[in-house]
Amino acid sequence: MSKHLIEPNDLSNEEILKLIEVGKEIQVNPKKYNQLCSGKILASLFFEPSTRTKFSFDAAMIRLGGHIIGFADANTSSAKKGESLADTIRVMNFYSDIIVMRHPKEGAPKLASEYSNVPIINAGDGGHNHPTQTLTDLLTISKYKKTLENHTIALVGDLKYGRTVHSLIKTLAKFNSKKFILVSPDELKLPSFIIDYLKVNYPEIEIAEARYLEDVIEEVDIIYMTRIQKERFFNEGDYIKLKNSFLLNKEKMKKAKKDAIVMHPLPRVNEISYEIDDDPRCVYFDQSNQGVFIRMALITKMLEVGDYASC
């Protein structure tokens, strides 16, 4: 792989499968990993709020025996004083061995990587990419569906600004997905450049669109829900009109396959009814849990320790 993880294609299929393998091994044998990053420092630069991603990276580094510095709010950094991202990164290179960053501007991690001697991990850039959520998703799929290949996946909700969807769809395409079904309101459709990318590079994958999840749920192996954000709409009326049409509830789940799984990068707002949380097919909370293990695997890979130590 390249030295940095900026977008999903920075990892080959073999590298992804190895990360999944290590992520599973960490769960079985955590003691083997708990001092691998002793003496190493992870800089956690969150220019935008986060709960799961930030704390799962923090937990991952702590469980590897390493240390964390950084900020969870850009207002407490020199970015507030107008410092350029490049300067922040140059300085943080002196203080850390690896940098995890989230930024509201799309392409910011790529810019950071151009000025960094230590590995940069993109923890989400605007509506663009979120490759470590994708790794989390893949570990979850591998756990529950045994293979990453040949699935029919419904992607539901905000497909336009949903960075988790953008990263996931590009990566699953590399693993011979059977079909993608895109379920979103007209205002939040998947960007055309991603559809073009899929058609050019993976013409064998079927891509379909549906207005309602219930119309297609019977054929779906993986239901990937995302949050529809109120601020994406010009007026509140449109938002209210649409928000419930993408609600996944008990009634809709009756039509889903017995071995289907429901995923969500979280946080959810009102797209998944609480009444289905106990359905064994709903794996979104364990999905968050898997995020720690895959991030542990990724950190060891990028710092070249443990299973990734050079001989």
Partner 1 sequence: MRLVNSIENGIVIDHITAGKGMIVFNELKLKDVCNTIVLLMGIPSKHLNKKDILKIEGDFKLDPKVLGLIDTNIIVNYIEDNKVIKKEHVSVPDKVSDIIKCDNPRCISHTDDYAKPIFTLMKQNGELEYQCSYCEEITKIKFK
2 binds partner 1 (CB under 8 A): no
Which residue has 């001697």 as its token pair? 117
- Give the Å distances, CA to CA, from 166 to 7, 29, 163: 10, 33, 5
Given a contact cutoff of 8 angstroms between Cβ atoms, the answer to whether 284 and 271 are in contact is no
Amino acid at 72: A
Among 52, 110, 145, 189, the one annotated catalytic: 52
Given a contact cutoff of 8 angstroms between Cβ atoms, the answer to whether 39 and 154 are in contact is no
Pairwise CA distance, residues 137 & 268, whole Å: 16
Give the distance, in angstroms, between the CA of residue 176 and the centroid of all CA atoms in the same chain: 19
Tell me whether residue 53 is one of the annotated catalytic residues: yes
Q: Between 63 and 128, whose beta carbon lies closer to partner 1? A: 128
Among 4, 54, 102, 103, the one annotated catalytic: 102
162 binds partner 1 (CB under 8 A): no
Q: Between 97 and 125, whose beta carbon lies closer to partner 1? A: 125
Q: Which of residues 90-109 bind partner 1 (CB under 8 A)?
A: 103-108
111 binds partner 1 (CB under 8 A): yes
Beta bridge partners of 156: 183, 225
Q: Between 112 and 253, whose beta carbon lies closer to partner 1? A: 112
Taking the complex as a whole, the smallest distance from the CB of residue 111 to partner 1 amounts, in Å, to 5
Residues touching partner 1, count (CB under 8 A): 21
Pairwise CA distance, residues 244 & 264, whole Å: 16
Q: Which stretch binds partner 1 (CB under 8 A): 80-88, 216-224, 227-235, 269-277?
A: 80-88
Tell me whether residue 102 is one of the annotated catalytic residues: yes
Tokens (6 digits) for 265: 């990068």
Pairwise CA distance, residues 122 & 125, whole Å: 7
Pairwise CA distance, residues 155 & 190, whole Å: 10
110 binds partner 1 (CB under 8 A): yes
End-to-end CA distance of the chain: 18
Tell me whether residue 81 is one of the annotated catalytic residues: yes
Q: Which stretch binds partner 1 (CB under 8 A): 78-86, 140-148, 181-189, 221-229?
A: 78-86
Range 273-279 contact pairs with CB under 8 angstroms and sequence separation of 24 or more: 273/247, 273/248, 273/249, 275/249, 275/250, 276/248, 276/249, 276/250, 279/250, 279/253
Among 4, 53, 132, 226, the one annotated catalytic: 53
84 binds partner 1 (CB under 8 A): yes
Taking the complex as a whole, the smallest distance from the CB of residue 280 to partner 1 amounts, in Å, to 37
192 binds partner 1 (CB under 8 A): yes
The one among 14, 31, 39, 193 contacting partner 1 by CB under 8 A = 193
Q: Between 134 and 152, whose beta carbon lies closer to partner 1? A: 134
Tell me which residues touch partner 1 (CB under 8 A). 84-86, 103-108, 110-111, 114-115, 125-128, 191-193, 196
Task: List, by residue number, the catalytic residues.
Answer: 52-53, 81, 102, 130
